[in-house]
């Protein structure tokens, strides 16, 4: 199929892009295009105007942010995977290094992955584990929203229709934090049937900080807070890790589809959570 008719605009500034999206409620922002264009071809989406963000320099790049990092929404996966300055953000590098294929990584964007909110996308899980917040811009101004609670359903977020995701930002990670991302990929698409991101830190011989983001398992990416609670205060031993990982799907309605039924997904969520915790602890100071 081919898309329905639409107009096209390629603004040079963020203010222009915001104004174009606010002008027409049926307008859509175009980032890398890997998600939006296929659904347009299937006519599951029929925007009246495509607002291409590729010329908006304000949306690109990685910069320091109060001891942490701000990542522009139009920064590509390849630019993240190849950024040696992102020390402590190994979970993000893990994920962006294995998304799709070379073409996808060089065209697809971090912000597009967050805004699209695919329930099997990699970047949302890692962003949750890293405690990132979304910076959203509209004609009413700018607001910063924690990603924990931002995803509300399949392809659904709390962003308003006229808001553009400008960037993700966070402050410093805990000293010595280590991270990892483990994924069971669907062989044809590369999307996660189970994807687990973990960020941990130690203090005084025990785990003092733990964040776990999981994708591909439920209706939307989520923080596995029961796993986090079980990890914090533990000694990080094999038995403690296994006990914590067993909570990977607590309170979650687990997906069942042609790729994996709920029982298999649940079991793999536990396995990959354990592996991600082990790797993240091995990278922590």
Measured between alpha carbons, how far is 69 from 204 in angstroms, rounded to an integer? Answer: 27
Residues 110 and 188 in one domain: no
Whether residue 120 sits in one domain with residue 93: yes
- Are both 84 and 147 inside the same structural domain? yes
Same domain for 161 and 143: yes
Q: Do 187 and 244 fall within a single domain?
A: yes
Q: What is the mean pLDDT of residues 144-160?
A: 97
Q: With 90 as the cut, is the pLDDT of residue 285 above it?
A: no
pLDDT for 87: 77
1 is a domain residue: no
pLDDT in tens, 103-135: 999 999 999 999 999 999 999 999 999 999 999
- Whether 179 has a pLDDT exceeding 80, the answer reads yes
Q: What's the whole-model pTM score?
A: 0.95
pLDDT of residue 34: 87
- The Cα 72–Cα 69 span in angstroms is 10
Tokens representing 217 are 């398992």
Q: Which range marks the domain in which residue 23 is found?
A: 7-51
> Does 219 lie in the same domain as 120?
no
Q: At residue 268, does pLDDT exceed 90?
A: yes
26 inside domain:
yes
pLDDT in tens, 181-190: 999 999 999 9
Pairing, β 27-30 against β 49-52: parallel
Domain C-terminal end among 168, 186, 214: 168
Whether 173 maps to a domain, the answer reads no
Q: What is the pLDDT of residues 62-106, one digit of tens each?
A: 999 999 999 999 999 999 999 988 878 999 999 999 999 999 999
pLDDT of 138 reads: 97
The residue-averaged pLDDT of 18-43 equals 93
Over the stretch 181-239, which tens digit does the pLDDT of each residue have?
999 999 999 999 999 999 999 999 999 999 999 999 999 999 999 999 999 999 999 99
What per-residue confidence (pLDDT) applies to 86? 86
1 pLDDT exceeds 80? no
**Same domain for 120 and 149?**
yes
Does 162 lie in the same domain as 64?
A: yes
State the average pLDDT over residues 137-141.
97
Token pair in block for residue 236: 């990080």
Cβ atoms within 10 Å, residue 78: 18
- 212 and 122 both lie in a single domain: no
Q: How confident is the model at residue 2 (pLDDT cuts 50, 70, 90)?
A: confident
CB 75 within 8 A of CB 60: yes
Residues 6 or more apart whose CB falls under 8 angstroms from that of 56 comprise 11, 12, 13, 14, 17, 74
pLDDT the model gives residue 276 = 98
In a domain, 2, yes or no: no
Total domain count for the chain?
3
């Amino acid at each position: 199929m081919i898309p329905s008719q639409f107009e096209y605009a390629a603004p040079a500034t963020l203010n222009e892009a915001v104004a174009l999206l606010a002008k027409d409620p049926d307008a859509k922002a175009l980032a890398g295009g890997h998600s939006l264009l296929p659904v347009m071809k299937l006519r599951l989406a029929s925007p009246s105007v495509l607002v291409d963000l590729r010329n908006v320099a304000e949306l690109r790049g990685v910069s320091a942010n109060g001891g942490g990092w701000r990542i522009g929404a139009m920064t590509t996966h390849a630019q993240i995977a190849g950024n040696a300055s992102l020390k402590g953000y190994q979970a993000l590098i893990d994920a962006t290094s294995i998304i799709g294929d070379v073409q996808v990584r060089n065209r697809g964007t971090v912000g597009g992955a967050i805004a699209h909110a695919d329930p099997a996308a990699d970047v949302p899980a890692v962003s949750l584990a890293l405690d990132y917040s979304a910076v959203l811009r509209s004609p009413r101004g700018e607001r910063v929203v924690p990603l924990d609670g931002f995803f509300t359903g399949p392809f659904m977020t709390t962003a308003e229709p006229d808001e553009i995701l400008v960037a993700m930002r966070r402050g410093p990670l805990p000293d010595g934090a280590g991270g990892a991302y483990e994924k069971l990929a669907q062989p044809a698409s590369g999307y996660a049937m189970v994807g687990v991101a973990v960020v941990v830190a130690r203090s005084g011989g025990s785990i003092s900080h733990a964040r776990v983001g999981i994708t591909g398992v439920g209706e939307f990416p989520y923080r596995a807070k029961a796993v986090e609670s079980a990890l914090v205060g533990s000694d990080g031993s094999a038995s403690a890790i296994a006990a914590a990982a067993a909570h990977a799907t607590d309170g979650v309605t687990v997906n069942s589809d042609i790729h994996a039924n709920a029982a298999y997904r649940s079991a793999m969520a536990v396995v990959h959570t354990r592996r991600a915790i082990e790797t993240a602890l091995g990278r922590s100071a």
